[in-house]
Amino acid sequence: MKSISILGVFVADLCFIGDKIPSKGQTILGKKHLVGPGGKGSNQAIAAARLNGDVSFITKVGKDSHSEMAFKLYKEAGVKTHSIIQDEKLFTGVAGIMIDKDGNNAISIVSGAAEELVNKDLDNHIETLKKSEIFLTQMEAPDEITIYALKKAREHKCLTILNPAPAREIDEDNFKLIDFFTPNETEAEFYLNKNIKTETDIKNAANDFLKKGIKNVIITLGEKGIYFANNKENFFLEAHNLKEPVIDTTGAGDAFNGAFAVGLANALEIKEALTYANKVAGISTTKLGAAASMPFASELENY
């Protein structure tokens, strides 16, 4: 199996579960409260490791109860932590997450220590990248190190996956650094500055991304599944049929990206890897929490 390195952020998710997500100026009575591990990069690392991926995580955390929670989780899942920088002068990040009765969410994240990641941190851990064949990242770490890491990953012949979440500006020149680009519909709308509603809109959006120099585009469509396109083929894949109700979609995108990386690491064909990732993402929505909802390889057999 090929090895995977992931650059990203760990935060403690403070989740509030209620009938609805409060609107501006409103106070509601919630139903449940949960503090658990989150952060997109970290969730993706957990997803990949629980599926038996060989995963190293690159990030920066503080030295506090939240980072303790992170290290405990990585130990249990088997994520390699030699490239996690711990700085006792900084605090580990947190996210506030509101979840409604249908599992929809609204998130505000403060990355804390991970906001201080700089290129030099990656240089100090370049061996991790050099030993990997697959590199996965998102847009939660500072832009500068994210783009620098994509460049270094290419230099060291890694396949690059960018999950552009949360959607933030990317210089046009940098799209060519991406082998697999995995926006959801809203993120795709942000990058192309246009509405994406119909199947034709989705196909056109994927073509627009290919024209920017991205090699493969995967637009995730929530309960509608995904659309894939590269210069040779394109297809829609339906969402996986779930046995249990959706209770929390937080981290579903992370489950998808982590699992897709494992699919590639196991040398699956693209369509197979996407089907696998779809299934993992679907299962994650039937459980509460972000990292906590990532399924183990053994659970997949029952689906």
Which residues contact ligand RIB (rule: CB under 6 A)?
11, 13, 38-40, 43, 95, 107, 109, 140, 250-251, 253-254, 290
Distance, CA of 233 to chain centre:
24
Q: Which of 121, 179, 248, 254 is catalytic?
A: 254
**DSSP letters for 126-148:** HHHHHT-SEEEE-SSS-HHHHHH
Q: Cβ 13 to ligand RIB, closest distance in Å?
A: 5
User: Known catalytic residue: 208?
Assistant: no
Distance, CA of 13 to chain centre:
15
Q: Cβ 114 to ligand RIB, closest distance in Å?
A: 10
The three state secondary structure string of 17-45 is ECCCCCCCCCCCCCCEEEEEEECHHHHHH
CA atoms within 13 A on the CB side of 161: 29
Q: Which residue's Cβ lies closest to ligand RIB? A: 38
Q: Cβ 129 to ligand RIB, closest distance in Å?
A: 22
> Which CB, 92 or 250, lies closer to ligand RIB?
250
> Which CB, 212 or 222, lies closer to ligand RIB?
222
Q: Which residue bears the tokens 């972000």?
A: 290
Backbone phi, psi, residue 163, to 5°: -95, 100
Q: Cβ 40 to ligand RIB, closest distance in Å?
A: 5
> Which CB, 11 or 55, lies closer to ligand RIB?
11
Q: Measuring CA to CA, how many Å separate 261 from each of 86, 123, 153, 218, 277?
A: 26, 23, 14, 13, 9
> Which CB, 39 or 112, lies closer to ligand RIB?
39
Q: What CA–CA distance (Å, rounded) separates 297 from 279?
A: 11
Active site residue ranges: 254
